[in-house]
Structure 1
Amino acid sequence: MQQPNRLKPFFENINFEREDNTMTVNFGPQHPSAHGQLRLVLELQGEEVVKSRPMIGYLHRGMEKMAENMIYNEFLPTTDRMDYIAATSNNYGYALAIEQLLGIEAPRRAEVIRTMLLELNRITSHLFWLATHALDVGAMSMFLYCFREREYAIDLIEDYCGARLTHSAVRIGGVPLDLPSNWIEDCMSFLEVLEKELETYEGLLTENRIWKMRLENVGIITPQMAKDWGCSGIALRGSGIKWDLRKEMPYGLYPELDFDVPVSYTNDSYGRYKICIQEMRESSKILKQLVPMYEESDTQLMAHAPNYISAPKEQIMTQNYSLMQHFVLVTQGMRPPVGEVYVATESPKGELGYFVCSDGSPYAYRMKIRTPSFQHTAILEELLVGLQLADVVTIIGNLNIVFGEIDR
C-alpha cells in the first residue's frame, strides 16, 4: 500500500518563483551591528532595501510594571539598566520627576555635582557611540582611541560613586556623597586631554575619504520626517531643528550655564557625526563653568524634607526620632501627594521623559517612560527604504540606539 506524501500540502504552498524577484532576510537579532536585540526584516531587491520592518521585544523586562511594584527609592537603581551607557541620565530624570511630585528641590551643591556627573556621562556616551559607529563602518583604530578617553572619564565617575557602568549616583532629593579630594583637579586634567584628542579624532575621520563616502547623503532625515517620527537629541538637531531641552525647557543649573547647541542642516549621517564631536566640546565647557559654582556652594547634599527624605547619617545615629523616621522610609517607603507629573530631560540620545502618577501610596500607580531610542528605531521603517544593504549598518550605528531603553 502506497504511503501518503504528508509533505505535499506543505510544498504546494511554497512559491519558488516570484515576479518581483525580491528576497526577505533577517538582520539581527544576533548581529553584532544591530546594537542590541534588534531584528530587522528587510526585503531586498538585489542590494537595495525596498521594505524594512523593525521588530522589537527580544529583551523585554517589564521595567515600567516593576516600577509600579517597588517603592520609589527601590526603583532608582533599576533605571541604570535602561540606557546602560548613560546611567546617570536615567537616575537624574527619574529623581527629578519624583522631586517635582514631592514639591522639593535638591540643594545647590547637590545640583552642581549632579550636573557634573551628567555632562561626564554625556561625554562617555558620545565616546562609546563614536567608537562603535566607526567600528561598524570599518575605522577600527577609532574604537581603541575613543575607549581610551572613555576609560579616563569612567575612572572619574568610579572615584565618586564606586561604579563604572550602573552608577546609581543620584538620590531623590540630592546626592549621597560629596566630591572626593583632588576630583576636580583630575577632571580638569581629563578635559585637557579630551580636547586635544577630539582634534585627533577629527583629523582621522572628518576629511577621511572613505568615512565621508559611507556617511554623506546617507540616512537623510528631513525636518518634517524628524517631527513626524518624534525624533529628539542629535537625530533632531541633525535635521536643522535647534531643540535641546536644556535650553528650551531648562531644568537644574542649565539656565545659569553658557553653552551652544550644535545644529547641522545636511540632514545626513555625516552631519550627525559632526554634532556629536561638537557636543563633547560643549560638555567640556559646561564642566569648567561648574567648578566655581561648586566652590561657592555650601556643604548640604540632600533636601530637608523629613516626610520623604531620611536625615543625615549623623542624626540617624544620634537622634531617636531621625532613626525611627529612617526606618519607616526604608521599610515602608515615602508617600507622595496624590497627583501626576511628566518630566523630560535631555539625555545623550535625546528626550528622556518620566510620567509618574501617584495615588498617595508608597508605590507609583502608573509609571511610563519616554525613551529616545524607541522613536529612533521606529523611523528605520521609512529611513532604510531605497538604500543599500551596507548603509543599514551605518544608519543603525549613527542613530545610536540602545535596546535596554526600547524593550523596557
Structure 2
Amino acid sequence: MEITVGVGAGARHLGVDRVVDLGPLHPSAHGAYRLRLTVRDDAVITAAEPLVGHLHRGAEKLFEVRDYRQVLTLANRHDWLAAFCNELAVALAVERMTGMDVPARAQTLRAVLCELNRIMAHLVFLAPLTGPAAARGREAVQAVLEEASGGRIHFMFNRIGGLREDVPAGWTDRVRAALSTVDTGEVPGGLAGIGVLSRESALAYGVTGPIGRASGVDFDLRRDDPLPGYRGLDVTPVVRAEGDALARVRCLVDEVRQSVRLVERCLDVLPGGPVNVRLPKAIKAPEGSVYTRVEAPLGTSGVHLASRGEKTPWRLKLRTPSFNNVQALSALLPGTAVDDLPAVLGSFAVVVGDIDK
C-alpha cells in the first residue's frame, strides 16, 4: 500500500510496501521454509510470516505403525542436530509407562551424551558467525560421539532401558581431550540491538531453549525437571534480558562452555555397572498415556505417548522446539533493516525437520 506522511504541501510520499518471498531455502537453513516479508521503500521490514510445511514428513503418523524399537529410529531424525536427545525423549516415555529401572551408569552416560550433542549442535550454528574455531571444535566433539555410537549424525545409541552398549575403553579420556579443543570463536560486532524478541513475545509463542533464555525466559529442564543423570549437577541456566541477536549468540557461546563443564563433572562421577536391561522380544507399553520432556539443544523436546497396550503406539505426539520457536519470527523481524536480516536469521537457530513433524 502507498504511505503518505503529513498533509498539503508538506506531505511526503514514502512509496509502496513490497511483499518479498524469502525461500523456500534449504542448504543454509537446515530444511526448506519460506519467510513472507513486507518491506518498506526504506528497506525496513514491517511484517513477517514464516511459512512451513514444505517437507510433509508425517513422522507422527509413521510412529503409529512401528514398534517401539523402530520408533526410536524415526524419532532420531526430526531434529538432525539433536538426534540423541530425540531418541531419549521417546525412550523415557516407554520406560516410564513400563516402570523400567534404568541402570545408573546409563543415566549418567545419557547426560554426558546429551551435553556433547548440545555442544555439537550449538557449534554448528556458531561456526558461520564466529569463525573456523567453532567448526574445529564441532568436529572434535562429533568424532567422540561417532566413536561411541557409530553414527556421525543419526546416533541411534539409546535403547529402551538404557543404551545400546557401553562406551569403548578409554573413551572418557578421549572426550576430555576433545573438550579441551572446543573454542566458540569470536562473537562478531554489529549484533547488538537488532532482531529484538521481547520476553512477553517469547512467552506468548512458547519459545524455549537458548532463544527464549536470551529474552529473559528463565526456564531450563536440566534444572526445573532434571533427569536422573542431571541431579546433583546444580545446573544454572544461562539467561540474558536483551533479547537481541547479540544476546542469542552469547547464550549459545555460554551454553557451550557450560556443557563442557557439565560433561567433565559427569565423567568425574561416572559409576560402573551395566548400561541396559534385558528386554522381552516384544515391548508393549501398558494402556494409558504419559508425557516426557528433555532439554534439547534448541529447547523443550516433549513426547506425549498414548498406548492401548499394543507393541505400537496408539498416538505419539511430538512437542518440538523449532515448531514453536520459528513462529516468533513474526514478532522479531518487524523493524529490522533488510541489510541486518542475514545476521538476525543467523542468530535464530531452528532446524526445519523439527517443524514439519
**TM-score grouping bracket, smaller chain normalisation:** over 0.9
Identify the residue that residue 206 of structure 2 maps to in structure 1. 230
Residue pairs, 1:8-407, within 5 angstroms: 21-30=16-25, 32-46=27-41, 47-132=43-128, 134=129, 142=131, 144-194=132-182, 197-198=183-184, 201=185, 204-205=186-187, 211-213=188-190, 215-294=191-270, 296-298=271-273, 300-304=274-278, 309-310=279-280, 326=281, 329=282, 334-407=283-356
Spell out, residue by residue over 1:156-186, the C-alpha distance to the aligned partner (whole angstroms, 9 max, x if none).
0111111101101111110011111111111
Q: Report the alpha carbon displacement of residue 18 of structure 1 after superposing the two structures with TM.
A: 5.6
Corresponding letter in the other structure for 1:88: F
Counterparts of 2:31 and 2:224, CA distance in 1: 31
Counterparts of 1:266 and 1:107, CA distance in 2: 42
- In 2 relative to 1, CA 246–189 (structure 1 residues): closer, same or farther, beyond 3 Å? same
Aligned residue pairs total 345
Structure 1: gaps of 5 or more residues: 1-16, 206-210, 311-325
Counterparts of 2:36 and 2:193, CA distance in 1: 23
Counterparts of 1:256 and 1:88, CA distance in 2: 22
Counterparts of 2:340 and 2:294, CA distance in 1: 31
> What is the SS of the residue equivalent to 2:164?
coil
> What is the SS of the residue equivalent to 1:28?
strand
TM-score by length of 2: 0.92
Counterparts of 1:86 and 1:219, CA distance in 2: 25
> What is the SS of the residue equivalent to 1:193?
coil
Identify the residue that residue 10 of structure 1 maps to in structure 2. none
**Bigger helix fraction:** 1
RMSD: 1.7
Counterparts of 1:34 and 1:163, CA distance in 2: 22
Counterparts of 1:23 and 1:35, CA distance in 2: 27
> What is the SS of the residue equivalent to 1:212?
coil
Contact 2:109 2:229 in 1 (8 A): no
Corresponding letter in the other structure for 1:92: L
Q: Report the alpha carbon displacement of residue 33 of structure 1 after superposing the two structures with TM.
A: 4.2
Counterparts of 1:246 and 1:258, CA distance in 2: 9
Contact 1:355 1:367 in 2 (8 A): yes
Spell out, residue by residue over 1:257-290, the C-alpha distance to the aligned partner (whole angstroms, 9 max, x if none).
1332111121211112111111111111111111
TM-score by length of 1: 0.81
Corresponding letter in the other structure for 1:289: R
Counterparts of 2:19 and 2:259, CA distance in 1: 43
Structure 2: gaps of 5 or more residues: 4-14
Counterparts of 2:32 and 2:246, CA distance in 1: 25
- In 2 relative to 1, CA 125–34 (structure 1 residues): closer, same or farther, beyond 3 Å? closer
Contact 1:27 1:34 in 2 (8 A): no
Q: Report the alpha carbon displacement of residue 31 of structure 1 after superposing the two structures with TM.
A: 6.1
